[in-house]
Every structure is written in structure tokens, then in C-alpha cells.
Amino acid sequence: MKTKLWRTLSALLVSTTVLAVTACGADASPGDATGDGGSRPAPGRGGSAVVRTEGGLVRGSVTDIARVFRGIPYAAPPVGPLRWQDPKPAAAWNGERDATKPPPACAQNPGAVPGGSTAEDCLYLNVTVPSGKTTGPKPVVVWIHGGAFVNGTGSSLDPARIAQRGDVVVVTINYRLGMLGYYGLPGLPGSGTFGLSDQQAALSWVQRNIGAFQGDPGNVTLAGESSGAMSSCAQLTSPGAAGLFQKAVLQSGACNVSWLDNFDERHKKAGAVFRPRSEIEERGRKTATELGCGGRDPAAVIDCMRGLPVDKLMPVLGGFVNPAFDTPVLPVDPIDALDKGQFMRVPIISGNTRNEATLNAVYYDYPEPVTDRTYDEVLTETFGPDRAKVDAEYPRSAYGSAAEAFAAVITDRKWACTQYDSSRKLARYTPVHQFEFADPKPPSLLPEPTKMPMGAYHSSDVLSLFDIAGLSVHFTPEQQQLSDRIIDYWTSFARTGDPNGPGRPDWPTFRADVNPPYTQALAPGASGVARVDLAAEHHCGFWAGMSRGG
């Protein structure tokens, strides 16, 4: 149980729990066709619930704040022979398609989606347009949900507040997850990148259709958190994404996120997000054999795997959560692409939460936080002869508990310093604005009080941007002001490539030739938005010099 708890809790917060909307979305019908459609987008009417897309008419919901269109297909259902193929065009429909209900979540085990989902017909997106604002064209924000590449849904977050306050169009998307999104086999085109290809298909749909929703297809910002940010970083390096977006926001996820032994769970080996295609295909070959589809003929193996019911794949769905490079979608490892400057030169916002790994540490010794004994054992197992260096850099006496010390080590090595390094590489070629979300007591989404301080835990910054259907999140007046400032920063960036504007503290760019480069701390209160020396705060110089895993 402990082995899967971190992933489940992470999914609940990274893709953010949706109790009301997603629960019905897992079984919601994507819509019915009843009349005459069309294939040519037309400009949307101000305030209209009906918009014409390339596939036909869609009827959404209208409130005083926004017009919302849910469950619009951007690709054909990847089922049957289309399982593990790159996305194909969606079929047109007749009449008005019902776009008032959330679409099915892509197949996943219980966690972010209550009860999970077995839907493979899931390649849908949602469009939120502000009501009562300018007539357009408006900046567009395409949000990629997090969830460790194996959980989540585009319907999990309600972007109406961003759309209304920032006067932007927001698109949230589904994409194939786990084994259905990142499986590979020798001889299988697209191995390890189907989920990333789905994201590109959604971005292409935006280019062709967002004008019908008052959006500007020439002013698109790709944004995401955790695995959504890692996806966005990968798209910066992908030839197939060229021209599909003009800016990027990377929240708690970069191309070079990596971890050491025991970081996420006991005995989990060190690794990185993106893996070679050969490794994914070899893992896929072994899994095919375990599922009764082994054989020497690659085509027969693929056909057998496509013929398996989705229920048979669910137990191994989480075994494939690493997008593959050495592929047409990712010709080189995104880490190497950043090193060599081989990425799209677009303005970027990049950053972390101050206490990323408290969520990890709180249940590491399920059902308790990390204990002194576990902390001692894990540091010895992980760092070996370098253990003394870690003890000197992170003295146990400097922290309130072993769990807090453990969280600090993982926060710094896995999250903060990798993102910082990524920002330095990006900033050599393109404008970067670096942030650290630092609210010391953000609202908690955990089901019960924790036995350690959580601080600005992984995904807590998402609450400042999105509302969560079915859950009540209470901000103090200072937190509400911070949320408004973050929305203003983000949407100003989406509009112009610069987060600065009237009514909020200045945010200088992150320059690699300045020591230390500027990082904007985002916290409540009069002095909460200010400069922070992120590298010093998170011991990045120490980790850069470590002989093991530095």
C-alpha cells in the first residue's frame, strides 16, 4: 500500500482532486449528433452558447463569468487498431454537440479520478471563454494537467477565474496516460510518445479552431504543472511542436528532473523522466510476454497487444510513465537539447514551490511521516560514502523532525535545483522569469491534518490559479491578494511575454550572467513578493558538486 500511496497522493494534488465534476466525467457521454454540422470554423458570437468548430456545432454552458465548452474531440478515439498509434483526425458530426458535460478521463487507476477510469475514448478538450470582456482576439492558455504521466484529467481544474480576471481563453486537455500513452515495442511506430503526440494534436486543433472562441491562434501559451510542466518542456524541444505555441509556463517540472535511490519511495531506484526508446521498447517486449503476447514476429505481438481488453492492461498501466527520446517526437534527450540550445526560443516562466517534497515525506513511513530510523537508513543506502557530506549540509538539528529534513533533501536535489539549472540553460537563449511559490501555510487538500508542517507543498501553487469543482478552498485576504497577483502575472505574460504590469511588484528576468540570477518569491503579505536567492536557499552549489547524483 505504501508503494502506491505517494503516487496516489501526488495525483490527487498534482492533477488536483475533482470529486463532483470528474466523478461524473468518467462516465459522461461525449455528446450526440442530431442535425447538420460543418467543417469550417466561424467566429464565435459574443456570449453565445453555440460555436462552430471544424467538426460541427458545439453547445456549451454560459454563466456571468464564462462560456464553457466541454468534451470537444480533438482526435479520433484511439481504440482497437488505433490503440498505440499517433492521433488521427476526429470525425465530424451533425447538429449541435452537447458540450456541457466533462468528457471521460483517460484510462487510469483510482486516485485523481474517484474510482479510476477504463476509457480509451478520451481525447477531448475543454474551452473556457470569459464573459463580458473584450471582443477579442484574446491570448490563449493551453493547460497540460499533471499526475505523474499516469493520472489526471483536463476537467480536474476550473479555469473560469483565470479566464475572467485575465481576459484570456483557457484550454484544458486530456491525453493518453501510463501504458496507453508511453508504451513501446520494437517495430511499433510512435513508441513511448503517444501522450506527447496527443498534446501536439490538441495544440494543432487550437491553431485551427480557437478563433471561433475569440482566441488568437498566434498568441498561445503552453502551461502545465509537474508532469504537465515536464511535457511542456519536452514540447519546447520537439520539432513537431514548432509554431504551435509562442510562450511556455513550467510549474514544478523541467526537462532535467531526476531523483536518487529511495527518494520517492523505499527501494525505488534512481532515474530521470525521459528515457531512451530502446529501454522503453525492451520493457514493452517483456510486458507483452507477461501478458501472453510474446513472440518473434513484431507485427503479431503488436496485434495481440491491441486485442487485449483494457481491463487486462490496468494492473501494469503505471509501468510506463517515461516519455521516450530517440524518437520522431523527441529526437534527442530533452536534457541534452537544453544543454545544446536546441529548443524553441520563446519567453518562459519557470519555478517551483518552496517545500515540494513535504507531500512525499508525510506518508513515506506509511501511515506516519519519515522517522529518525528510516531517515538514517535511507540516507546511508542512498549516499553511501557521501552520507557525511549530506549530514553536514543538512544537519538534523536544523529541522523540526527527520521528515522535514528528508523533505528538504528531496525538495532541493530533485525539484528546486534541477529546475534552477534548467532555467539557467534556457536563459542563455530566451527571456526567463523564475519564481518560487512560498506561501508557508497554503490551503491543504489532504484528507486529514498532517503530523508535520507542509509549507508550500508540491502543487499548492495551482490553487492560486484554478478553482476545484466539488471542493471548498478558503483563502485569507492576503492569500486572495496573492492569487490575484499570480493570475495577473501569468495572464500578462500570456498576453505580451512579460509578466509585469501596473498594480504588482516588478519581476525582473532571470539572467544567467547575473550572480545570483533573479528569482521572484511569491508569498502572501506586504513583503511576500520579493527577491530570493534560490540557489543558496536550496543548496544548489552543494548538489552540483556531489560525486553521487549531483
Rounded CA separation 90/163 (Å):
27
DSSP conformational letter for 13: I
pLDDT in tens, 488-547: 999 999 999 999 999 899 999 999 888 999 999 999 999 999 999 999 999 999 999 985
Q: Are 492 and 500 in contact (CB under 8 A)?
A: yes
Q: Are 357 and 454 in contact (CB under 8 A)?
A: no
Question: Cell digits for 430?
Answer: 530566451
Mean pLDDT of 257-279: 94
Which residues are CB-contacts of 479 (< 8 A; sequence separation ≥ 6)? Answer: 439, 442, 443, 464, 524
Is pLDDT at 3 greater than 80 in this prediction? no
Q: Are 226 and 152 in contact (CB under 8 A)?
A: no
Q: Which residue has the cell 483510482?
A: 110
Can you give the pLDDT at residue 142? 98
Is pLDDT at 233 greater than 60 in this prediction? yes
pLDDT in tens, 119-161: 999 999 999 999 976 777 999 999 999 999 999 999 989 999 9
226: left (phi over 0), alpha (psi -120 to 50) or beta: left
| Confidence label for 293 from pLDDT (cuts 50, 70 and 90) | very high
Reduced to 3 states (helix: H, G, I; strand: E, B; else coil), residue 259 is strand
Can you give the pLDDT at residue 137? 94
| Confidence label for 482 from pLDDT (cuts 50, 70 and 90) | very high
pLDDT, greater one: 374 or 112 = 374
Reduced to 3 states (helix: H, G, I; strand: E, B; else coil), residue 470 is coil
**Would you tell me the crossing angle of helices 277-290 and 298-307 to the nearest 10 degrees?**
60
Rounded CA separation 520/440 (Å):
15
Residue 6: phi and psi, rounded to 5, are: -60, -45
Is pLDDT at 19 greater than 70 in this prediction? no
| Confidence label for 31 from pLDDT (cuts 50, 70 and 90) | very low
> What domains are defined for the chain?
135-547 (3.40.50.1820)
Q: Exposure of 388 by Cβ count < 10 A (0-12 exposed, 13-18 middle, 19+ buried)?
A: exposed
Rounded CA separation 359/498 (Å):
32
Q: Are 357 and 458 in contact (CB under 8 A)?
A: yes
pLDDT, greater one: 417 or 29 = 417
**Strands 61-62 vs 96-98: parallel, antiparallel or unpaired:** unpaired
Nearest to 400 by CA among 452, 458, 353: 452
Would you please indicate which residues are annotated as catalytic (active-site) residues?
A: 226, 356
Nearest to 234 by CA among 207, 200, 204, 187: 200
Question: Cell digits for 127?
Answer: 474551452
R_g over Cα of the chain: 22
pLDDT in tens, 69-110: 999 999 999 999 999 999 999 999 999 999 999 999 999 998
| Confidence label for 301 from pLDDT (cuts 50, 70 and 90) | very high
CB count, 10 Å around CB of 89? 14
Give the type of residue at 225: E
Burial 199-238 (b: 16+ CB within 10 A, else e): bbbbbbbbeebbbbbbbbbebbbbbbbbbbbbbbbbbbbb
Can you give the pLDDT at residue 366? 76
**Would you tell me the crossing angle of helices 372-383 and 402-410 to the nearest 10 degrees?**
30
User: Torsion over CA of 239, 243, 244 and 245, rounded to 10 degrees?
Assistant: 110
N-terminal to C-terminal alpha carbon distance within the chain:
30
Q: Which residue has the cell 526567463?
A: 432
Q: 104-113, 304-313, 319-328, 332-341 — which is least confidently predicted?
A: 104-113
Q: How far is CA 22 from CA 16, 226, 471, in A?
A: 10, 20, 12
Half-sphere exposure of 189 (CA within 13 A, CB side): 5
Q: What is the pTM of this model?
A: 0.92
Q: 54 has which bridge partners?
A: none
**Strands 124-130 vs 61-62: parallel, antiparallel or unpaired:** unpaired
